[in-house]
Every structure is written in structure tokens, then in C-alpha cells.
Amino acid sequence: MLRQGQIEALIVSHEHFDHFWGIGSTLRHCPNITLYIPQGFHPHGLAFIKEQGHTGQLITVPPDQPLLLLPGLAVVNFPMHTLLRVDGENVLYAQIRDRGMAMMTGCGHGGVLNLLDYARRTFQGGDRIHALYGGLHIAPLEDWDESRDRMVASLGQYGIAKLACNHCTGRRAVEKMLEIGLPVLRGTAQNGSQNELFVGNGDVVELA
């Protein structure tokens, strides 16, 4: 799809290694793809993008204001400061006709509930969340306590019809979601993806 120009842009969520350092695998097939990064990248990260052969447009998303990509599709850079001096995370919001909003995160450092509530406050129709995909950052290190039980329970109150998680959600968190009957889509555990709880490399999520 990259070689045939069927993918118009790549949204990089943030500068952490498991979300960014594999960028060469995309650029190898489409060096001139348009890239979106959150404001806050370090000079080494910017140099890495060049070293990996990027020749296309590089767009830096400023913090705290939705950048409209198309009618009904926006990227928002949530300011945050986390491990390894990483700043800012891009989150994608899409309005799907007759269904509601879809939110796609890389890791979800801003807190999945905060990010959903942002949609409610900010976007027309944002109170109806249809689908959620990404890193929900509930227990990525597999530590567990009551506050995480409450997060999973709260997630169940948004009426989300499709939920798909990547590894940044945590295995235990996905198991808890399944236990309380949330509509979790399963992956295939192929291409290095850890297990079927996560939708990973080569898996497809159809949001509409």
C-alpha cells in the first residue's frame, strides 16, 4: 500500500522507541510520505528521521489545539513529559458517519479517560464514542491496583462499540475488559505481536 501511494500520511504518536524507532520500515517503501510528529522532538529524533531516508513533508503538531487534517479528522498533541525525556503525544480523532467518534492513540500517556473526555468537550458529536484503538496505558508494566479496576470499569460506561488494544495497554488490563464484557477485538499474534489480546503488526481494525 505504501509503494502504491495508498497511504497518505504517517502520524507518529511520540518519540518512545517502541512507537518511533521502526520508522525506517515505513520510509523504505515510501520515503516521501507526509509525517506528523508532536512538538517536543529532540534534535536526535529529528536527525533520525532524516537518517532513515525521509524526503517528504514533516509537520509538527503544536500542543493543545486540534489540527484538522480533513473534515472530520483531527490530530491533537497532548503535552506530557515522561520517561527518557519524551515530550508530547499525538492522538487522532475521526468522526465516522452515522456511528460516532473514533479515537486512536499510540500509547495513551495522557490517560485514556482524559483523552476521551477531551473529545466530549471539544468535538461536535464527541459525546458518542464509537471506536477506540491504541495504547490505553492502563497497566503497561502489568502492575495492578484498585485504581486500574476503576479505570476499566469507567471505560465500560462510554458505550464504545469497538475496542482494540496495543501492547501499551497491558495484558492484564485487556483480560479485565474481557471479564466485564467490553467489545474487545482480538489480534492474530503474528509478526512479533505479543499475543491475541493485542491488535498488533499486520492486524486490521475496521472502525466503521
Please, which residue, 38 or 135, has the CB nearer to Fe ion? 135
CB-CB contact of 1 with 7 (8 Å):
yes
Min. distance of Cβ 78 from Fe ion in angstroms? 14
Min. distance of Cβ 6 from Fe ion in angstroms? 26
Min. distance of Cβ 172 from Fe ion in angstroms? 16
Min. distance of Cβ 168 from Fe ion in angstroms? 3
**What are the residues whose beta carbons fall under 8 Å from the beta carbon of 24, sequence distance 6 or more?**
52, 53
The residues binding Fe ion (CB under 5 A) are 107, 135, 168
How remote is the C-alpha of 194 from its chain's centroid?
Answer: 17
Please, which residue, 139 or 168, has the CB nearer to Fe ion? 168
Task: Write the DSSP assignment of the chain as a string of letters.
Answer: -TTTT---EEE---S-HHHHTTTHHHHTT-TT-EEEEETT--HHHHHHHHHTT--S-EEEEPBTS-EEEETTEEEEEEEEEEGGGEEEEEEEEEEETTTEEEEE-SS-TT-HHHHHHHHHHHSTTTT-EEEEEE---SSTT----HHHHHHHHHHGGG--SEEEE-GGG-HHHHHHHHHTT--BPP----TT---TTS--TT------
Please, which residue, 120 or 148, has the CB nearer to Fe ion? 148
Min. distance of Cβ 139 from Fe ion in angstroms? 12
The residue with its CB nearest to Fe ion is 107
Please, which residue, 56 or 79, has the CB nearer to Fe ion? 79
Min. distance of Cβ 37 from Fe ion in angstroms? 15
